Every structure is written in structure tokens, then in C-alpha cells.
Amino acid sequence: MTNEVLTGAQAIIRSLELLGIDTIFGLPGGAILPTYDPLMDSKKIRHILVRHEQGAGHAAEGYASATGKLGVCIATSGPGATNLVTAIADAHMDSVPLLAITGQVGSQLIGTDAFQEADIVGITMPITKHSFLVSRPEDIPGAIASAVQIATTGRPGPVLVDVTKDAQVKTAEFVWPPKIDLPGYKPVTKPHGKQIQAAASMILESKKPVLYVGGGVIRAGAHKELLALAETIGAPLTTTLMARGAFPDSHPQHLGMPGMHGTVPAVTALQKADLLITLGARFDDRVTGDAKSFAPGAKVIHVDIDPAEIGKIRFADVPIVGDAKEVITELNAELASQLKGKKPDYSEWWQFVNGLRERYPLGYSEPTDGKLSPQHVIQRIGELSGPEAIFAAGVGQHQMWSAQFIKYERPNSWLNSGGAGTMGYSVPAAMGAKVGEPDRLVWAIDGDGCFQMTNQELATCTINNIPIKVAIINNSSLGMVRQWQTLFYNERYSNTDLHTGTDTIMVPDFVKLADAYGCLGIRVEKEEEIDAAIKLAIETNDRPVVIDFIVGRDAMVWPMVAAGVSNDAVQYARDAAPVWDGEE
């Protein structure tokens, strides 16, 4: 049978269709234009035209994080490709499966500083799992199929495929399925049986264990297995910023989020533990503080799909390389065999942990300047929206408050830029999430600083009938930077005032801006207006909604561990002494 002859551009679209891709976020330009022509004829792929390529990348991330599927973005060469770099780096840090397709100048022009030429393969090599440069049309199906396999297997992450313009225009036989040859790429998913046995024995020997759960559990879809493991052991559990929703907040074993702005019980339990059962977490500095003083008396079981993470920051007494779902499944079976229906006795440990819960509940102080409490606003958004909603946050104080005060009961309901800390993530990520999960309520919880970086994607939402809800937590400043200036720079507020919600000046006026983008704009300045505004936003589904919540600028995120110090120095409030002095 003779294979069909296609242009390289047609081969790109056909390959994506055959791989089950149904959505692409992108923006055309000269070097990718040949591919946009057959894309117009596709009956299987929905293309969403963004207003900025960074928005395409974050939208693809939001789509992937909400659905668990691959996110795809596309851009032209030069600045189009480099505008994707921030989103690619973000996906790399947070293990988001992402395929970025970029056009490149003709192969004969590479290296000549041609118009809109940039070595995007070289630029992205440190922040992708792999980057392909394709200069022949016959290589396109194999490159696309290989990219999808790499992005979605092992530790998920971004892959870039850069295709020269002449490769898109020339023709070749379209061979499907292509031969995928990835020498050296063989992710280990099944754990070693002896390591499972060793882990189970260590768990049963411990007196003060803590389950330290990271975002890898969500990427692996292992939340049900995690629940079974936690209830089998009966130990306290913490979920990192990237793992919020991997374990129900309502569960009595859940201590909340650890780290710089984690709950006191979560932070202190990790410090005082004798065993960390580390699942899909990477001992990030925002969790450990000073790594040398982190959980000093604890042995470590470390489960990760990426062997490079094990032992990178903290020595693992029992290292287990494998997919979290498979590892936890086998660990559950081994523990059931050893326990024979019994449970370990951690009553003394729970007495200590519950004492922390009683003394240091998560809370906040009301603002003294007459403005709204940002924590209260975010808490009410969560309560009125319910656990089936999706919440995408920007970066800063509002991100931490969203992680703290919204209750997450299921995975893929919390989207944020954890590793890279990318301002501007929220609106396009929420847009992508809503495209992937159109029947769910989707909120972008943003700051007035973050919102001004990518709010142009509201036009994309309006035109494409993507009715996201945007809550701007407007403190008229770069809030987290201002908090650090308050605490560590003698209240010298150098270049953090944004003038977006003060009594004398409001630039821009976010309600007018929302109206200009075809959205419903609402401003809320009084506490009694909060619930009505949120309910109106939830009920409005014929266009996006933007709510400008004017909140107190001096509100701070507590608890807090200052950067680089021991987690023993966690402070419950600004003027409070450290919770623990490091002594038993």
C-alpha cells in the first residue's frame, strides 16, 4: 500500500490528530505560517488564538494540569518562540506535560542571523526534557510522536519541536505509525521489590512518621492509592504547594501544607519526625528552609519517578525509583501483608501533633485600614464555589492565601506556578483549564501585579466563549515583595506601589478594563458585598467575569519561615517568637 504524500505542514497536523490532540493554543507568524494553512482544515483540532505566546504556553499548562492530558502550544520563530520560554521553563519546574511546536527559518538560513531567527533549540535545551530541530519533512511524524512520548512518560515535562520553514513546505510520504527510536530513554516505572519491603519495615519500626507528599502524586494519578496508604498507616500527612488536592483537606490525618508559608503543625511535624515517607516530592528549598537542619532526626524513604531527584538534596535511606501510583500500590500490598489487619500505634505522636493543631490553628488578623481582608475574600470564593471547581493562582501573597484558605478535596483542582514562581500565570492557565474542563467552574485568583502581565487573554476568553472568573486581590502593590520590605528592609517600599486600588488614584481601572474586554466587571470594597459578587460571577456564564476586590495592603502571609533559616524558626505571626526553639 502506497503511503500518502503530504507536505511537512500537513504531516504536523495529521500527526497531532492521530495522537489524539484536540486543542492547540497559539499565534501564527511567518515561519509557522505553512502549518497554519492545513490547521484551518482540521476537524479534530480546536485552535485558540491567543494575544501573546506566553499566554499560549500557560494556557497549554492549565489545560494539561486540569485534565491530566498533554498541553500543546504553537508559535513562530524568533520572538514568537522566545515568548514561549517562560511557560516552557514553568512546565519544566512543575513537571507539566507540554508540547511546544515552533517554526524556524529555512534550513539554508540557519546561522545567518536571518529575519526572526533564534536558536530556540539551544535556548530551551536546559528547560526541556528534549528539544528537536527538524529540517526534513519525512522526519516530522517521528519527531512529533517521539516528543509526545517523552513529554507524557516518566517524569512529565515540556518537549520542543522546532521545524524549519522549508521542511513544512516540502513533501514526503507520510508513514504512520513512525518508528520511535529513543536510545537511553527508558523511564523506570515499576519499583524494586526489595526496596518496597525495606520501606514497609522502616514504616513499621518508626514512632513518628510523616507522609511528605509532593506534586508527583498528582501527576501520577495516585490520589486513591495515597488515601489507602495513609489510612493503613494512620500517620500525619502534609501536601506541598504542588500537591494541594492530592489528599482531602477534610481528612483528619491531613496537617496542611509544609514549608515557608505552611501550617505550624505541618512544618513542625516534619521537623520532629523520625521518618519521612516522601512521595513525589523533591525537598524543594521552599519546603526545607535550611536543608542541613531540615528534619534532623528523620530517616528518609524517597519515592520519585526521576532518579536524579533522589539524593540530590537529602540522603535517602530507602531510595525507590518508580511511578508513584505503582510504588504506593505495591507498598500498600506489602504493608497489608505485614500488618495483617492491625495498625501501628502512633498515639503519642498524634498527641504531640494535635497539641500543635490546638495551639497554632491557621488564621489571620483583620485589616486595620478599613479595606477587605484578602484571606476572607479567598476563603469565601472557595466556600461558595465548592470542591469541584478549579482554582488557578498567580504568584505572591494571593497564591499562598489560596493554598491556605481554600479547601481542596480532589486532585487537579489547584493550579499554580510552584517552582518558577511565574507572575502572569493565572489568567491564561485558567483559560486553558476551562477549555479542558468546560463543565467546571474555573477561577483565576490573581494579584493586581500579576493580572497586568497577561490580562490581554481576557480578549481570547471573550471571543472564544471561555467564561472564566477572575478575582483580583487588589492591594495596590506587589504584595509579597512589600511584605519582605516590611520585614527585612525597614519598611523601605522601593518600587512596589502599583496605584491600582488606592483612594486617590486607580490606574488602571480594572472594572473599565474588564468592560473593554467584553467581560462583566465588578468592584467590591465592602465586606457585605463579597458574597453577592462571587455568586453573581458564578451565575454569569455568557462572558468572563472580573471582580476587583480592594483589600488591605498591609495584610501578610503567616505562618512564615524566612528564606534560608531552619524550619524550627517558623513564626506564627509577625511579632510572635519562633514556634519552636529546636529543643525537645
Check if the beta carbon of residue 390 is closer than 8 Å to that of residue 413. Answer: yes
Say yes or no to pLDDT of 130 above 80: yes
Residue spans in the chain of domains classed CATH 3.40.50.1220: 193-359
Using CA atoms, how far residue 262 sits from 295, 345, 570, in Å, is 15, 26, 9
Instruction: Provide the annotated active-site residues.
Output: 53, 115-116, 165, 480
pLDDT at 350: 98
Higher pLDDT, 329 or 577: 329
Paired strand residues for 319: 302
Q: Is residue 484 packed enough to be buried (19+ CB in 10 Å), middle (13-18) or exposed (0-12)?
A: middle
Say yes or no to pLDDT of 127 above 50: yes
pLDDT at 316: 98
Average pLDDT, the chain: 96
Q: Report the pLDDT averaged over residues 42-63.
A: 98
Percentage above 90 pLDDT, the chain: 93
Residue spans in the chain of domains classed CATH 3.40.50.970: 5-173, 374-550
The model's confidence at residue 584, banded by pLDDT at 50, 70 and 90, is: very low
| Nearest one of 380, 434, 443, 440 to 407, comparing CA atoms | 380
Q: Report the pLDDT averaged over residues 417-435.
A: 98
Q: Determine the Cα–Cα distance for residues 471 and 443; give it in Å rounded to an integer.
A: 7
pLDDT at 515: 98
571: helix, coil or strand? strand
Considering the segment(s) 193-359 as one domain, its CATH architecture is 3-Layer(aba) Sandwich (3.40)
Homologous superfamily of the 374-550 domain (CATH): Thiamin diphosphate (ThDP)-binding fold, Pyr/PP domains (3.40.50.970)
**pTM of structure:** 0.97
| Nearest one of 86, 63, 84 to 428, comparing CA atoms | 63
| Nearest one of 140, 158, 53 to 456, comparing CA atoms | 53
pLDDT at 504: 75
The model's confidence at residue 503, banded by pLDDT at 50, 70 and 90, is: low
| Nearest one of 35, 29, 44, 33 to 10, comparing CA atoms | 35
**DSSP assignment of 374-439, as one string?**
HHHHHHHHHHHH-TTSEEEE-SSHHHHHHHHHS---STTSEE---SS--TT-HHHHHHHHHHHSTT
The model's confidence at residue 572, banded by pLDDT at 50, 70 and 90, is: confident
pLDDT at 344: 93
Check if the beta carbon of residue 431 is closer than 8 Å to that of residue 443. Answer: no
Q: Report the pLDDT averaged over residues 257-282.
A: 97
Q: Span 5-173: which CATH code? A: 3.40.50.970
Say yes or no to pLDDT of 1 above 60: no
The model's confidence at residue 581, banded by pLDDT at 50, 70 and 90, is: low
The model's confidence at residue 3, banded by pLDDT at 50, 70 and 90, is: confident
| Nearest one of 81, 77, 13 to 47, comparing CA atoms | 13
pLDDT at 341: 81
Q: Report the pLDDT averaged over residues 392-412.
A: 98
The model's confidence at residue 2, banded by pLDDT at 50, 70 and 90, is: low
pLDDT in tens, 476-500: 999 999 999 999 999 999 999 999 9
